[in-house]
């Protein structure tokens, strides 16, 4: 992304950053609505209010542009809410009752800009400031009516924002999860592997991948049916998920093949992790035909190599484990020198005499 032209970087952020895209849309719409009023104020001689309208429009557009260019959302969003809130209070001061209405869209928009809890605080603080500094509602019944109406808007907007956030989280989880096993899907795996490789290129600890394949899985489906096969897949995923660390990630690549991402692992300990998982499956996974085993291929990331090359080395190690009789773990050759070409994989000493499962 760093090598992309500025406009492509901005479009990339809008496509992949839900909060930024929402705020950018709100800021653009808000500025388009406010600027005509600013022109009207200038033409009608209301210079002060016209200047305030222009400043409010700029308080929406400038922080949004800053976030689009730099990717720093937090500072931009806080600046936007602070400046727009000051503008709303100022308009309520100079325009009287007509200016109070601008508080409502600002309160609703705050839920997209600063999140649920902060937006609740912002909403009630703005109501209090308008009641103190605003004009046009000097009578107590008018003030109480306005306060009750504004508070209701804050609360109802909070309820709506909460429901939208829950639905968004549920959709994101569904989009990143394999429906049968509950572990990460191929889409999530690809994104996480790219991120791990990028972090490693910047000097973070080296990650590793383990590719696992259930031995003779086709025969399980053929002999006992797809329902039994699905149960084996689901139990396999759960066993692996409980056997790895909390920081590790498990994904279903497709069919009976899974991948485990180890964000940080000692090069000398990778074979220990692989053997631990192999033994976990051998000892705990069963179907009607008896014990179910798996073969593993593991590869530690080499700084500078692509994700395809990294996973490809693990796949080749897996193929070695299959060729050597299955129910084994093989580790791909790795060198701490990034200039060294990758040599052939070597097989890890693990259960070499174990007979292939049937």
Give the closest residue to 232 by CA, choosing from 312, 321, 294.
294
Instruction: Give strand pairing partners of 297.
Output: 211, 330
**94 torsion bin: left (phi>0), alpha (psi -120 to 50), beta (else):** alpha
Q: Which two tokens stand for residue 205?
A: 């600890």
Both tokens of residue 126? 């703005």
Active-site residue list: 256
Instruction: Classify residue 105 by burial, with Cβ atoms within 10 Å: 0-12, 13-18, 19+.
Output: middle
CB within 8 Å of 223: residues ≥ 6 apart? 288, 289
Left (φ > 0), alpha (ψ -120 to 50) or beta: where does 228 sit? alpha
Instruction: Please classify residue 289 by burial: count the beta carbons closer than 10 Å to its beta carbon, then call 0-12 exposed, 13-18 middle and 19+ buried.
Output: middle
SS3 265: coil
Contact indicator for 234, 244 with CB cutoff of 8 Å:
no
């Amino acid at each position: 992304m760093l090598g992309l032209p500025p406009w492509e970087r901005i479009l990339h952020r809008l496509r992949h950053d839900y909060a930024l895209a929402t705020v950018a849309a709100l800021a653009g719409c808000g500025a388009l609505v406010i600027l005509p009023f600013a022109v009207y104020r200038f033409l009608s001689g209301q210079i002060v209010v016209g200047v305030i309208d222009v400043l409010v429009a700029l308080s929406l557009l400038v922080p949004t542009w800053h976030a689009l260019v730099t990717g720093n959302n937090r500072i931009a969003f806080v600046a936007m809410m602070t400046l727009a809130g000051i503008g709303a209070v100022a308009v309520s001061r100079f325009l009287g009752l007509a200016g109070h209405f601008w508080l409502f869209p600002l309160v609703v928009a705050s839920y997209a800009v600063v999140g649920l809890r902060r937006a609740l605080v912002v909403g009630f603080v703005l109501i209090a400031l308008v009641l103190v500094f605003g004009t046009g509602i000097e009578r107590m019944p008018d003030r109480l009516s306005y306060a009750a109406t504004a508070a209701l808007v804050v609360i109802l907007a909070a309820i709506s924002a909460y429901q939208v956030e829950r639905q968004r989280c549920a959709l994101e989880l569904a989009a990143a999860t394999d429906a049968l096993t509950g572990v990460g899907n191929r889409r999530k795996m690809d994104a996480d592997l790219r991120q791990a490789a990028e972090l490693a290129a910047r000097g973070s600890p080296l990650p590793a991948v383990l590719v696992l394949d259930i031995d003779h899985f086709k025969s399980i489906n053929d002999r006992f049916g797809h329902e039994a096969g699905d149960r084996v897949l689901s139990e396999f995923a759960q066993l692996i998920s409980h056997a790895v660390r909390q920081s590790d990630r498990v994904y279903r690549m497709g069919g009976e093949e899974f991948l485990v991402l180890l964000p940080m692992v000692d090069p000398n300990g990778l074979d220990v992790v692989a053997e631990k998982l192999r033994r976990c499956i051998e000892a705990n996974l069963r179907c009607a035909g008896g014990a179910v085993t798996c073969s593993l291929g593991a590869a530690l990331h080499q700084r500078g190599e692509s994700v395809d090359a990294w996973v490809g080395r693990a796949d080749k190690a897996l193929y070695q484990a299959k060729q050597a009789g299955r129910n084994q773990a093989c580790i791909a050759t790795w060198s701490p020198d990034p200039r060294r070409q990758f040599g052939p994989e070597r097989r890890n000493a693990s259960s070499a005499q174990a007979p292939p499962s049937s």
